[in-house]
Chains A and B, each alone.
Chain A
Amino acid sequence: MSVPKVEEKLFQNRYVIDAGHPHIRIVDPARCRSGCRQPCLVCCPAGCYTLDAGEVVLITDGCLECGTCRVVCLARNLEWKYPRGGYGIQFKFG
């Protein structure tokens, strides 16, 4: 079975992007490298966390605002807020 990319799913969604104001931030990238099993890579339903040359990279544009990454980041290495009012995912159906 060929699994469609998550981007194809996210493409169906409606977002109001707050350019330049990501609502989630990795506090200390060094802690992602040392000792963390990096559950955010597997658990994020929007694939916002990827590995690039050994670094965990976070791009929040497709974020569904579920909160999963914050809960599984047991190192408490994320600064996690909701987007400003009116921005972010706007579910058409939910």
Chain B
Amino acid sequence: MSESFDAIVVGAGPAGNAAAYTLAQAGLAVLQIERGEAPGAKNVQGAILYADALERLIPDFREEAPLERHIIEQRMWVMDDESHIGTHFRSNDFSRPPHNRYTIIRAKFDKWFSKKVQEAGALVICETTVTGLLRDGAGKVIGVQTDRGDGAVYAEVVVIADGVNSLLARKAGFRAELAPKDVALAVKEIHFMPKEAVESRFNIRAGQGVVIEMMGKITQGMMGTGFLYTNTDSISIGVGVMLSDLMAQRLTPWELLEQTKAHPSVQPLLEGGEMKEYAAHLIPEGGFHAIPRVFGDGWVIAGDSGMFVNAVHREGSNLAMTTGRMAAETIIDLARAGLPMTAEHLAAYRRRLDDCFVIKDMKKYKDLPDIFHANNQFFTTYPELVNGAARTMLTVDGVDKRSKEKEIFACFRERRSLFGLLGDAFKLWRAFR
């Protein structure tokens, strides 16, 4: 394989697939390399697919993509050991096509997306690990080294879309090692049951789905969240916590997952299901401040490898597709103008990102990770307090409501000073604003 291509894309996740698809559609000679047996074999997600990012690439994806259920209801649960209090938002509006959010199963979805990439004309090679970037004397990236055949393949530009660990970017010195405070570990299981069981448990019709986001005691004081998503005939259940918190305590990730599954609000939803897979994956949650340099001579970075995840809104795959597409559009512009793939010209990629929702949203929440790190009461004290407050108000026991209010207020004051409460409210307001 000593051939040369216009572009090499490393990785066949949403970022790599969006890039390879866009490049191939524009007629560039594209080689895409994936280490899994098939695209998706290494990938883990909750998983919610946001229609918009994919629609911009493949407008009629709804007709053929393997989608599980469209989301009509979102639940947010704040939990203590025994209870949850929360909000449900359900709207018939979400039942009308075109739907804007779906649950997916990544192994199936990535395989489908890759088929579209191949139809668009890219050469896709699986079961091949890229072991390093090839560079010329001046440091410009000129291709990649793989663990197949004689290994070296050359291209004008390399799109690095190898996911959160990005061994390639790290080895080349384009990115530092991940810091434990910038990544979460998520563990999840998939439980199969008849689709009628899913529909009756969640009060939904065929094709409709529910997502539940959970916070509070299930992460045992660690910064993190749990999630439960309905697929066609299965349920995905998982929990994620920051590595900096995980490494400072004694519970293993699977014990944490077992506790989440055993919570009295969760357990009946899973009952009778057959567990068919246990998976784990990192999520980059360092936010805006963790984004590395995303371009250089002969290379660009897209998706998780560039730390493009909006943890507040659980958006990752859409940012991956958007950054992958924009990297490709930048390359196409340069190729058409006959310009070389140098850092100077590829800088247009970063400008594109700055001008769209990707960087704007990440900037908006730039201080939130630090606030949550420094204030673990958001994951411990508050969930207990609000559940306690609800329990007090809803227990009919002959105590008048005003006394109950006083009791609740006293509880809050006792656990956290009035000053602390106001301060927390202010911090959150500033960060979400």
Binding site for B on A (CB under 8 A): 1, 3-4, 6, 9-10, 12-13, 16, 37, 39, 42-47, 64-68, 70-72, 74, 76, 80-86, 88-94
B35 within 8 A of A: yes
Contact B36 A90 (CB under 8 A): yes
Q: How many residues in B have their beta carbons less than 8 Å from beta carbons of A?
A: 58
Task: Specify the main secondary structure of chain A where it touches its partner.
Answer: loop
Known: A39-B247, A71-B180. A91 touches B43 (CB 8 A): yes
Contact: A91 with B280, CB < 8 Å? no
- Residues on the A chain within 8 Å of B247, using CB: 37, 39, 42-43, 72
Cross-chain contact of B279 among A4, A39, A64, A80 (Cβ < 8 A): A64
Closest chain-A Cβ to B181's Cβ sits at a distance in Å of 10
Supply 20 A–B pairs (Cβ within 8 Å), ascending by A.
A3-B258, A12-B277, A39-B246, A42-B246, A42-B247, A42-B252, A43-B247, A64-B281, A74-B180, A81-B131, A82-B35, A83-B129, A85-B129, A85-B147, A89-B42, A90-B41, A91-B40, A91-B41, A93-B105, A94-B43
**In the complex the two chains form, is A46's CB within 8 Å of B243's CB?**
no
Q: Is residue B55 contacting chain A, with contact meaning CB distance below 8 A?
A: no
The residue among B167, B177, B190, B247 with the most chain A CB atoms within 10 A of its own CB is B247
Q: Is B282 an interface residue (CB 8 A)?
A: yes
Contact pick for B278, options A1, A10, A39, A88, CB 8 Å: A10
Question: Given contacts A71-B183, A82-B35, is CB(A3)–CB(B43) below 8 Å?
Answer: no
- B44 at interface (Cβ–Cβ under 8 A)? yes
Complex Cα distance A45/B180, Å?
15
Q: Are B253 and A45 in contact (CB under 8 A)?
A: yes
Contacts A42-B247, A72-B243 aside, 4 further interface pairs with beta carbons under 8 A come to: A1-B259, A4-B258, A6-B254, A86-B128
A2 to chain B, nearest CB (A): 9
Measured between alpha carbons, how far is A68 from B259 in the docked complex, in Å?
21
B280 A1 Cβ-Cβ under 8 A: no
Smallest CB separation, B32 vs chain A (Å): 13
B106 within 8 Å of A by Cβ? yes
Query: Would you call B276 an interface residue if the criterion is a C-beta within 8 Å of the partner chain's C-beta atoms?
Result: yes
B167 proximity list for chain A (CB < 8 A) = 80-82
Q: Taking A43-B185, A67-B165 as contacts, is the C-beta distance between A84 and B44 under 8 angstroms?
A: no
> Is there an interface contact between B43 and A71, defined as CB atoms closer than 8 Å?
no
Selected from A81, A84, A94, the residue in CB contact (under 8 A) with B107 is A94
Q: B178 in the interface, Cβ–Cβ < 8 Å?
A: yes
Question: In the assembled complex, which residues on chain A have CB atoms less than 8 Å from the CB atom of B278?
Answer: 9-10, 12-13
Q: Mark B265-277 against chain A: 1 for CB-CB distance below 8 A, else 0.
A: 0000000000111
Known: A43-B247, A85-B126, A91-B107. A64 touches B280 (CB 8 A): yes
The answer for the CA separation of A47 and B280 in the assembled complex, in Å, is 12
Complexed CA–CA distance, A66 and B185 (Å): 8
In the bound complex, CA of A66 to CA of B284 (Å): 12
The answer to the question of B250 belonging to the interface, with a C-beta cut-off of 8 Å to chain A, is: yes
CA distance A75 to B411 in the complex (A): 43
Give the docked Cα–Cα distance between A25 and B262 (Å): 35
Q: What residues of B have a CB within 8 angstroms of the CB of A3 in the complex? A: 254-255, 258
A71 and B44 contact, CB distance less than 8 A:
no
A43 with B282, Cβ < 8 A, contacts A9-B275, A86-B126, A91-B106 known: no
B142 within 8 A of A: no
Report how far A12 CA is from B107 CA in the complex, Å.
Answer: 16
**Any chain A CB within 8 A of the CB of B396?**
no
A13 contacts B129, C-beta separation under 8 Å:
no
Assess the B275–A84 pair: CB atoms within 8 A: no
Chain B residue numbers with a CB within 8 Å of A90 are 36-38, 41-42
Known: A43-B246, A68-B185, A90-B41. A9 touches B251 (CB 8 A): no
CB < 8 Å neighbour of A42 from B42, B110, B165, B250: B250
- Cα distance A3–B261 when bound, in Å? 11
CB–CB B127/A85 < 8 A: yes
Closest to B281 in A: A66
Top 8 A-B pairs, shortest CB-CB distance: A86-B127, A94-B106, A9-B278, A45-B280, A39-B247, A85-B128, A45-B253, A67-B165
Q: Is the CB of B105 within 8 A of A67?
A: no
**B249 interface residue, CB < 8 Å from A?**
yes
Closest to B127 in A: A86
Q: Return the chain B residue nearest A64 by Cβ.
A: B280
Q: For A89, what are the chain B residues with a Cβ–Cβ distance below 8 Å?
A: 41-42
**Which B residue sits closest to A10, measured CB to CB?**
B278
CB distance from B88 to the nearest CB of A (A): 27
Contacts known (A42-B252, A71-B178); A92 close to B129, Cβ less than 8 A: no
Min C-beta distance of B388 to chain A, whole Å: 23
